Amino acid sequence: MGEPKPDVRLERAACPLYTAIAVIEGRWKPMLFQRLGRRPSGFGELHRAMPGISRKVLVEQLRQMECDDLVARRETGDSLGSVEYSLTAYGESLGPVFDALWRWGTSHLARPGAERGTLTSPPKTLVA
């Protein structure tokens, strides 16, 4: 018998790079960071500012960000259920990360033939 295979899930969970990617991944999180980085916003304001996002997905993304201490949720008391979201100081610490990713992405898109973004396709499932 050979050595046991490492558990990839445990390896990824302990990897700082995978952890960072997991925290910021999500179709809407970069836009939420951008908007909340400008100023605190209410739920309805965020929902109207991002056409295409469902209320359910917006709630999920904001809750994930809140659980990671990136976003603070505050009840405003203006009306029933009125809340305001803002970046925490910890959330603001991601600013340089997004700036670096923006610069890299801009360079990536400037390559010949890369007008559509990434040129790679997801791997195809092999059928045995």
- Tell me what pLDDT residue 1 has: 55
Tally Cβ neighbours within 10 Å of residue 33. 21
- Tell me what pLDDT residue 110 has: 87
Contact in structure between 43 and 58 (CB atoms under 8 Å)? yes
Contact in structure between 47 and 41 (CB atoms under 8 Å)? no
Radius of gyration of the chain (CA): 19
- Domains in the chain, CATH or no CATH each: 8-109 (1.10.10.10)
Q: Provide the Cα torsion 61, 62, 65, 70; round to 10°.
A: 150
pLDDT 10s per residue in the chain (128 long)? Answer: 566 677 777 877 788 998 999 999 999 999 999 999 999 999 999 999 999 999 999 999 999 999 999 999 999 877 767 899 999 999 999 999 999 999 998 898 888 877 776 655 555 554 44
62: helix, coil or strand? helix
119: helix, coil or strand? coil
CA atoms within 13 A on the CB side of 38: 8
Rounded CA-CA distance 19/106 in Å is 24
Total-model pTM = 0.76
